[in-house]
Structures are given as structure tokens and as C-alpha cells.
Amino acid sequence: MDSLRRHAPVGNDVIWHARRLHGAGLVAVGTCKPMGPPDAEGRAPCSAAWHPRPCDRAGKRPLLADYPRWAARGPSFADVESSLRVWAPCNLALVAVGVLVVIEADSPDADAELASLGGAELASAPAREARSGRGRAYVFRAPPGVNVPNGARRGTSGAVDVRGTGGLLVVPPSRHVSGHVYAWLPGRAVGDCAAGGARRTALAARAADSQASACTHGSGRRRHGRRLDHRRG
């Protein structure tokens, strides 16, 4: 890690972080970067001239339209770096490809819910630190054969977001529209610790089960699948 940082070009943190992700076998894509304060509705100017003005997802909109297919092809780091230089200045996002799963707590209650489900192993999983009023985001590898679709507002807290294939997680050194600069928890960056582990892969599987249950049961008298540990039947 230190040798990589010593050779990182000055002021080129996005490239350095993208290289770290690529070295861990993961794919990063550029997203637009907030270029001013948000308005009352949370919209702000962004670095992409072709995005809505103001952008309603400043900092989070991908800069490559077909990024899921591009990421699934396994682009070389040269391809990743070239795209980021073309889009600069930009934020950076991790693309969930293959068995990669991202579970994000969108509130402190959701963070506590994930902690209770994940157990001690969650304390060593790759994790992005929380910003004010929100929770952490965790990176997992799902068990073989488990398909985890994207979904939002899951769990008993109603504030757990699950991102499977094609999902995005904005990662360091990106800046949120609020001005918050994303960071990994100390020692918990992707590449510094493993995304596997029995309890963590089980949590990913339970998230998948929750999503499948939600799709199967629809919007009946109760929102089935809100619990991450919900089981059909």
C-alpha cells in the first residue's frame, strides 16, 4: 500500500484509489462530481455537462451509460484510467460485478440492524465510513449461486439498501453533494481485508432472500421482504 501511495501522482487520488480497487480484482467507474452547493431539493451543479442542470444525483450519476456491461467484461486498468482522465474531475464508484454485493445502511438504526445480523465478522468486513445521520456501507462476496438483485429501503429499519449486479457504491476519495468526503474505515478499505467470511456471506444470502421474497409477494397487506432475515413460508 505504501509503495503505491509513494508512486501516486500528486493530486491524482481518484486514479490511485481506482488502481487499489483494480488490484483487488474490482472495477471502478467514474461518476459526476458536485461542483457547487445543493439547492433546497438537494440538486446541485455537477461536472458532467450532459447531466440535468442542476443535477438531481450530483456525485452519483455514472459517466458511462453502459457501465454494467463494460464492468462485466473486466476492463484493464489502462481502460479504467483512460476513462477517468477523460471525465476528470469526477467521483469514483465501485461496480458490483459477479458475486460482489454492497449493503448500505441509510440510517443509524439500519447500521445497528446490520451489526446485529452480521455479528462479529461484520466488524472486519470492508466498510465505508458513515456520514452524518447515515450508516456504513459494507462490501461482501455472496455465496456461489446466490443472485442478489438491487433494492432499497429493506430490513426492519426500512433503511437498508442492497446492491447486487450492476449496483454502484460511491467510494473514496469522492465528495458527497453535502461536502462530505467519503473514506474507508481505518484498516477496512477494499483490498485491506477480505470480503468473505461465513457470517458475511450468510448476510448477503439473507439479503438476496429478502429481495426475492419482496418480488414474489408484491405489495399485499404487508410489505413482505422488509426484514433482511425474512423467510418465505
DSSP string computed for 157-187:
TT-EEEE-TT-EEEETT-B-TTSPBP-BPTT
- CB proximity list for 97: less than 8 A, separation 6 or greater: 26, 27, 68, 71, 72, 165
Is it true that the peptide bond before 38 is cis, omega within 30 degrees of 0?
no
* Mean pLDDT in residue range 45-67: 94
Which region among 20-24, 35-39, 76-80, 199-203 has the lowest average model confidence (pLDDT)?
Answer: 199-203
For residue 65, the SS3 value is coil
Confidence of residue 104 (pLDDT cuts 50, 70, 90): very high
Residue with more model confidence, 225 or 148: 148
116 in Cβ contact with 42 (< 8 Å):
no
Q: Which residue in this structure is represented by grid cell 452519483? A: 60
For the chain, where are the E strands, in sequence order? 27-31, 91-95, 100-105, 127-128, 137-141, 151-154, 160-163, 168-171
pTM: 0.81
Which region among 18-27, 40-49, 141-150 has the lowest average model confidence (pLDDT)?
Answer: 141-150
Half-sphere exposure of residue 163: CA atoms within 13 angstroms, side-chain side: 19
Share of the chain above pLDDT 90, in %: 50
Has residue 97 got a pLDDT over 90?
Answer: no
Share of the chain above pLDDT 70, in %: 78
Choose among 86, 103, 78, 93: nearest CA to 21.
Answer: 93
96 in Cβ contact with 166 (< 8 Å):
yes
Has residue 90 got a pLDDT over 70?
Answer: yes
134 in Cβ contact with 97 (< 8 Å):
no
Has residue 9 got a pLDDT over 80?
Answer: no
